[in-house]
A = this chain, B = another copy of it.
Amino acid sequence: MARPRKPLLSRERIVTAALSIVDAEGLQAVSTRRLAADLGVSGPSLYNHFPTKDEILDAVADSVVAQVDLSMFDGPGDWRTALLEWARSYRAALTAHPNIVPLLAQGPGRRPTGLRMADAVFGAMVRAGWPPAQATRVGALMRYFVAGSALGSFARGFVDDPDAYDPAAYPHLGQAHLLADRQEHVDQGAFETGLTALLDGLALQFERLD
């Protein structure tokens, strides 16, 4: 074929196709040859649009974080409600693409949407009366909790097999295998419980500021 009049690829098409593979078959299923085949081109073509495979996956992670709603930080709402809504939107974006979450480990700093998010949270917290140093911490610790909840799905680890758990070794986990079934439910409950606790605790600290 050689060069067509109109480019066959674009960064956007590549990112979309890569995310499809990640969602359907996991991170490890993404190879440059496979991704290119899905797009109807040959492997090396991708290098006209991204310098490395890692940067493709970076862009995929960025596209997921871009789905997080940040509008609650513009509105007139109080900081607590804004953090609550942001955390839920953030978690929803991540759990919609769970296979991508390990990729967020590299930190959001270099990714533009991660920066935009950090900026929005920090700005809103300062506007609400948090001192800048505290505002930085609030943004970071909320992110820890949300990322951890999407990443480390506590219940996902439990196998749906009673024989997997020796009661002598794990005396309190007799019912652990039941959790596999209700994984999403457990995660959801733990997330909401933790979110409430975190915001309650931050409210106590905010009261003590003056």
A122 within 8 A of B: yes
Assess whether A199 is in contact with B196, with CB atoms less than 8 Å apart.
no
Number of interface residues of A (CB under 8 A): 69
Q: Which of B118, B158, B189, B200 contacts A200 (CB 8 A)?
A: B200
Contacts of A66 in B (CB 8 A): none
Assess whether A157 is in contact with B189, with CB atoms less than 8 Å apart.
no
Quick one: which of A153-168 are within 8 Å of B by CB?
A: 153-159, 165
A146 within 8 A of B: yes
> In the complex the two chains form, what is the Cα distance from A133 to B103 in whole Å?
31
Contacts of A143 in B (CB 8 A): 148, 152, 154
Assess whether B153 is in contact with A107, with CB atoms less than 8 Å apart.
yes
Task: Please give 7 more A-B residue pairs, beta carbons under 8 A apart, in addition to A119-B172, A199-B201.
Answer: A105-B152, A118-B173, A136-B186, A142-B194, A144-B149, A145-B145, A198-B201
A126 within 8 A of B: yes
Assess whether A197 is in contact with B202, with CB atoms less than 8 Å apart.
yes
Assess whether A170 is in contact with B140, with CB atoms less than 8 Å apart.
no
> In the complex the two chains form, what is the Cα distance from A151 to B198 in whole Å?
19
Assess whether B141 is in contact with A171, with CB atoms less than 8 Å apart.
no
A151 and B105 in contact (CB under 8 A), knowing A123-B171, A190-B144?
A: yes
Minimum CB distance partner of A101 in chain B: B105
Contacts of A179 in B (CB 8 A): 136
> In the complex the two chains form, what is the Cα distance from A44 to B119 in whole Å?
49
Of the listed stretches A3-11, A15-23, A30-38, A108-116, name the one at the interface; the rest are far from the partner chain.
A108-116
Assess whether B110 is in contact with A157, with CB atoms less than 8 Å apart.
yes
Quick one: which of A77-111 are within 8 Å of B by CB?
A: 101-111
Contacts of A105 in B (CB 8 A): 101-102, 105, 151-152
A71 within 8 A of B: no
Assess whether A115 is in contact with B170, with CB atoms less than 8 Å apart.
yes
A13 within 8 A of B: no
Minimum CB distance partner of A153 in chain B: B107
